[in-house]
Amino acid sequence: MSWKAVEMQIALPRTQDAGQIQNQLDQRSANSQHYLAQVKLHEEEQRRKKVNELRQKEQYRLQNGDSSAESAKILMNNQEMVKRLNRQQQKHPFLGNRFDING
């Protein structure tokens, strides 16, 4: 058996191992992106539920006829919180922000 045949026996399994490692690295980045997308969806769903809960509480108070000053204050606070949550959802990462480009 020549040296070239022995070298090929060693080289071929190594290339297969390298291919498998590269495939695993590609899948790892795809899996991490998928995980981050799922986390983002979960956070958005939690925000929506919170806004809906606040609206339901507000409607419940209005239906029960609570007209005291405290309920009006709570109602205003809830409306402000809903507006704040909506603004947070719409906030753009760099539009409207100032960047120092002078270096």
pLDDT digits (tens, 9 = 90+) for 34-84: 999 999 999 998 888 888 887 787 777 777 765 566 667 777 888 888 888
pTM above 0.75, yes or no: no
Report the sign of the C-alpha dihedral through residues 82, 85, 89, 93, in that order. Answer: positive
pLDDT at 42: 93
Rounded CA-CA distance 16/65 in Å is 74
> Hey, what are 55's tokens?
């609206």
CB crowding 76-95: b at 16 or more within 10 Å, else e? eebeeebeeeeeeeeeeeee
Please determine, for residue 102, whether its predicted confidence score (pLDDT) is greater than 80.
Answer: no
Rounded CA-CA distance 49/44 in Å is 9
Place of tokens 């498998």: 20
